[in-house]
Amino acid sequence: MRGLIGRSLTAAAALAMSTAFAHAAPNVEVLHWWTSGSEAAALNVLKQDLQKEGIGWKDMPIAGGGGGNAMTVLRARVTSGNPPTAAQMLGYDILDWAKLGVLGNLNNVAEAGNWDKVVPKAIQKFSKYDGHWIAVPVDVHSTNWVWGNKHLLDSLGIAQPKTWDEFIAAMAKVKASGKIALAMGGQPWQEATAFDGVVLSVGGPDFYKKAFYDLDQATLSGPQMVEAFKRLEQLRGFVDPNFSGRDWNLATAMVINGKAAFQMMGDWAKGEFLHADKKPMVDFECFRTPGSQGVVTFNSDQFVMFKVGKDKQASQDAMAKAVMSKSFQVAFNTVKGSVPARTDVADTQFDACGKMAMAQLKSADEHGTLLGSMAQGHAAPAAVKNAEYDVVSAAFNGQYTPEQAAKELAKAIKLAQQS
């Protein structure tokens, strides 16, 4: 799943840079949380692209799939007066940093690259602040996916489920066979990621927006949300007893190795299948959470650029340009499991799941069903997201009945808004 860019070092200037910077183009330090095998492989694509431009790379990985640990390190760096040149970031975290006035301005690079026309407006919401480009979208991930081990499913005669009831019946059949039906990691962000699709399966995009965008109290505590928590409770019955604290990629490995049949996870999971030399529609299946078809709940990894001196601006601009190039967007996202952040990229080099995801992204963008993921901090600010995490995780772990969970969700969000 995610990275930072910080202290400048001396490096040879990129050939593409102006002669004004020819003797002082700094390197970039990148702090990120892309530490799984597929993520590291995808990040290496960017390292190689920048090296071609004469820009060095200092790696600073911070483990933790949700990015919380990386954000803690970032705050310490900025507070100490040593902000990075750029930082990998998600959703409302980007806007929170923009409000502090510490981010740079990428308008010149954006205008030259025509970013306004090729990046979906829903993504631009987190790339721009006060009319200025402050971040570069690296990818578009989506959360309402289900991944299945095709060999295991075929051996049990299980067809791809299209409805929620079919999905539950499929998992029941897997469980009866002695296999694990649903691979999960017991971490709040993972449970919330599954909940993205669950909520959509109950009430579709309008219900999702009213609950997680508008934060409407009646919707949050109402009968449809109670039903969503009932479905979350159903999922809990198909998880193995050792799920607590498991990292997401270890849950993905359970599906890859045939130990489990399904995983409800963002499409960064696909990167793990590809890294294990598995082929879509041959070794594994990809499909939207049954009942959520037609909607794409997204998150977009972005490199946020901090204010830097003119001596460092050249490398910063070169990095932004490299990230938004069509060649990089293809090379990176075919490895990462995500899709390009620009809509004018051909799908010819993408696998079957990638082609499907690109077509669905375009359709959702056109029909207004490209929605920021609650679980990935693209629906509401961090305080609200964290409140949602607490309640969803508690409900998944049996601390609330579905009725109690809906009431607690509304209460927790109201308190978060007041804080």
pLDDT tens digits along 185-219: 999 999 999 999 999 999 999 999 999 999 999 99
Mean pLDDT of 283-299: 98
Q: In Å, how far are 54, 153, 370 from 177, measured between CA atoms?
A: 56, 11, 37
Q: What CATH code is assigned to 145-294+381-418?
A: 3.40.190.10
Structure-block tokens of residue 297 = 């709940």
pLDDT score for 414: 98
In the chain, what percentage of residues exceed pLDDT 70? 93
Which residue in 304, 312, 324, 309 sits closest to 28, CA to CA?
312
Q: What CATH code is assigned to 4-140+300-356?
A: 3.40.190.10
* Average pLDDT score over the chain: 90
CA gap 329, 327 in Å, rounded: 6
Q: E strands within 241-290?
A: 260-264, 284-288
Q: E strands within 178-244?
A: 180-182
Three-state SS at 355: helix
> Where do we find the tokens 């499909």?
287
Work out the angle at residue 168's Cα, subtended by the Cα atoms of residues 165 and 170, and round it to the nearest 5 degrees. 110
Distance, C-alpha 4 to centroid of its chain:
16
Q: What is the DSSP letter of 213?
A: I
Domains 4-140+300-356 and 145-294+381-418 equal at CATH topology level: yes
> pLDDT digit string (tens) for 15-65?
233 333 333 445 877 778 888 887 888 888 888 888 887 888 877 788 876
pLDDT score for 17: 31
Query: Which has more pLDDT, 4 or 306?
Result: 306
Q: In Å, how far are 282, 322, 340, 380 from 325, measured between CA atoms?
A: 31, 5, 10, 29
Extents of the domains making up the chain: 4-140+300-356, 145-294+381-418
> Please, are residues 31 and 70 in contact by the beta-carbon 8 Å criterion?
yes
> pLDDT digit string (tens) for 325-368?
999 899 889 988 999 999 999 999 999 999 999 999 999 999 99
Which contiguous run of DSSP H or E holds residue 210? none
Range with the lowest mean pLDDT among 156-170, 250-264, 294-308?
A: 294-308
CA gap 389, 192 in Å, rounded: 6
> pLDDT digit string (tens) for 386-417?
999 999 999 999 999 999 999 999 999 999 99
Which residue in 306, 311, 305, 323 sits closest to 18, CA to CA?
311
